[in-house]
């Protein structure tokens, strides 16, 4: 049995840190700092902390949502490739030639999100309180996106979903609906998926 504080290999911690040192400036250059308010982007900062501290709760809070977001992003991008445009609108920026190519290539990290997120909790252990913590984190991300970003960015889908705009609805109502919808659509279904995977492939550590 390995020590409680060394479940995630040092090489993985260093590799992810190096990735963050690359990804942060590329994202600022290509999309601007507001892009960090996307939940999948903010999650990487939480993972960076969780990886180095071996904090199961932090890692578990991000595992479910990152897994489903990564699967959804990848599916939208792949199905859009034959048409040269995103069908659901989630990856529209990937087909926008006005966006820097390097920044768009960097966004392919979404493909690696599901296996990476699941592997982390497979190694470190899973805390079933994770989706509850993510509910609070996600609520803060939705509020921040509505207050600090413009409609054209549609960060965390706070201005429209699948091409349907929230025009005419009070901002407080939109935020409230999303705060309730995200746990039902992403956090807890993602939690169920991760739990199923961990049962199917038991982790090397217990307790």
Query: For residue 70, is it within any domain?
Result: yes
Give the count of beta carbons closer than 10 Å to the beta carbon of residue 97.
Answer: 7
Listed residue (21, 27, 32) closest to 106, CA to CA: 27
For residue 207, being part of any structural domain is answered with no
Residues 113 and 75 sit within 8 Å (Cβ to Cβ): no
Domain tally, the chain? 1
* Tens digits of residue pLDDT in 171-195: 899 999 999 999 999 999 999 999 9
Print the domain residue range for 82: 4-200
Question: Residues 16, 50: contact at Cβ < 8 Å?
Answer: no
In this structure, is residue 191 part of a structural domain? yes
Cβ atoms 183, 136 nearer than 8 A:
no
The pLDDT value given to residue 163:
76
Structural domain includes residue 44? yes
Quick one: pLDDT at residue 2? 44
In 3D space, the residue among 59, 32, 79 whose CA is nearest the CA of residue 127 turns out to be 59
Which of 33-47, 63-77, 157-171 shows the lowest per-residue confidence on average (mean pLDDT)? 157-171
* pLDDT for residue 169: 85
Q: Confirm whether 205 is domain-assigned.
A: no
Average pLDDT over residues 32-53: 94
Model confidence at 205: pLDDT above 70? no
How far apart CA 154 and CA 167 sit, in angstroms, is: 13
**In-domain check, residue 120:** yes
Flag whether 206 is in a domain. no
Residue 27 domain flag:
yes
The pLDDT of residue 5 is: 53
């Amino acid at each position: 049995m390995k020590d409680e504080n060394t479940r995630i290999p040092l090489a993985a911690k260093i590799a992810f840190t190096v990735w963050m040192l690359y990804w942060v400036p590329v994202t600022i250059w290509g999309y601007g700092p507001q892009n960090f308010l996307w939940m999948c982007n903010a999650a990487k900062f939480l993972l960076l902390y969780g990886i180095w501290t071996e904090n199961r709760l932090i890692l578990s809070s991000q595992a479910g949502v990152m897994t489903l977001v990564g699967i959804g992003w990848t599916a939208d991008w792949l199905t859009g490739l034959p048409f040269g445009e995103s069908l659901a609108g989630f990856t529209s920026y990937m087909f926008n030639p006005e966006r820097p190519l390097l920044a768009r290539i960097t966004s392919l990290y979404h493909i690696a999100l599901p296996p990476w997120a699941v592997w982390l909790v497979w190694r470190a252990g899973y805390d079933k309180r994770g989706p509850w913590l993510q509910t609070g984190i996600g609520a803060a991300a939705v509020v921040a996106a509505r207050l600090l970003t413009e409609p054209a960015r549609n960060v965390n889908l706070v201005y429209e979903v699948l091409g349907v705009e929230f025009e005419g609805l009070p901002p407080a109502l939109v935020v409230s609906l999303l705060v309730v919808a995200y746990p039902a659509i992403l956090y807890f279904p993602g939690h169920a998926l991760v739990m199923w995977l961990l049962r199917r492939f038991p982790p090397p550590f217990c307790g």
